[in-house]
Amino acid sequence: MTHITPTMLSDGRELIYFDATEASAALHSDPAATADRRGLDPRGTATGDARYDALSGEWVAVAAHRQTRTHLPPADQCPLCASNERYASEIPAPDYEVVVFENRFASFGPQLGSLPDTPEWGTTTTAFGRCEVIAFDPAHDGSFASLSPERARTVIDAWAQRTEALSAMEGIRQVFPFENRGAEIGVTLLHPHGQIYAYPFIPPRAAQLGAQATAFYEASGGRETLMGAALKKERDSGERMILEGRHFSAFVPFAARWPLEVHLVPHRQVPDLAALNPAERDDLTEVYLNLLGKVDALYSTPTPYIAAWQQAPLDARIRPASYLHLQLTSPRRAEDKLKFLAGSEAAMGAFINDTTPEQVADRLRNALPGTPGKATS
């Protein structure tokens, strides 16, 4: 059972402790132990803008205040470490298991509301929504891959709880938990953490996936989902499969865009992380950690990646066809080489992969977790 303890930072932002142990939960229920002693000025309602791009039909957030966000601070000034006598961080408690708090440098929010239904060229509005940070562990070094199974399970519970809570907020159309790992990806804090964005619109990639899924679902008369069909084909073929658990499987997609790309998919159609039952969350913990161990066994150093949870948009037509899955991608194409988006990818969105999905799947299948740079073939 995960204990959930909400509190407030001194500027009015919400912070929530997620604890698997009674002792940690008891610590965080003590106001004296969790008081933010920084005395920050109250946060106002000022936020960035959302501008409508009439040429593409997409919304773009303008968040110039993020230029001043923290960038690769020394370990003794990390805002995601627990506070101590010498330094007060974003996390007031002297210790924690998993914690979620509103981002001080948010791209969306803190105001909630709905975007205009019929925007046109020149439409500018408030960037409604919410951006949260989730610290996976009090240890300064590591990532989700380095978590214990117990801690990883607590993170999954936190993702699920926040998905449900954020989905219920005014104007939210999509909830997106993700982890960026590695300076090569652009990470500005090395402490193991992720983020959760609650958008006031359905982002372009989610809209594209949703449209494809909905068309397939409706053509089948509501009897079959697109991701469910893809998962069955991959499991039947086995050519690109990496792992198969009791409730989750991982495979390299047939038309992978990135040199390293994996889909982690539940065997049962669910719209989001909140809909997973306890047994599915247990299996997700095991399979996900195993997958990340294989990813890190490919090379002698940890591989940078983006782990993106594709959840169902909050749209009555798209949601029945949607199927929760994780898309893990990395630009690393060799030990010492990264793929950078060139003209075809960046300007036209037409990807050209430098690897074959079948070869990547074979390497991942045979990688030995915990043994960097080692595989059985």
Binding-site residues for Zn(2+): 78, 81, 140, 191
Is the Cβ–Cβ distance between 108 and 130 less than 8 Å? Answer: yes
- Give the number of other Cβ atoms within 10 Å of residue 242's Cβ: 25
* Distance between CA atoms of residues 262 and 292, nearest Å: 10
Burial of 366 (0-12, 13-18, 19+ CB in 10 A): middle
| Strand positions, DSSP E, the chain | 3-8, 14-19, 49-53, 58-62, 98-102, 124-126, 130-135, 174-181, 193-199, 241-244, 248-251, 260-266, 305-310, 325-330, 332-334, 337-338
Task: For residues 336 and 351, give the distance between their C-alpha atoms in angstroms, rounded to a whole number.
Answer: 21
- Residue 349 CB contacts under 8 Å (≥ 6 apart), including other chains: none
Residue 11 DSSP label: T
One-letter amino acid identity for 105? F
For CA atoms 294, 299, 301, 304, give the dihedral sign: negative
Strands ordered across the beta sheet of 58-62: 58-62, 49-53, 124-126
276 close to 246: Cβ distance less than 8 angstroms: no
Catalytic (active-site) positions? 193
Cβ count near 78 (within 10 Å)? 20
283 within 8 A of 291, measured Cβ to Cβ: no
Q: Tokens for 89?
A: 């961080």
- Cis peptide before 302, with omega less than 30 degrees from 0? no
CA pair distance 175, 166, nearest whole angstrom: 7
Residue ranges for the known binding site are 78, 81, 140, 191
State how far the Cα of 72 lies from the Cα of 79, in Å rounded to an integer: 10
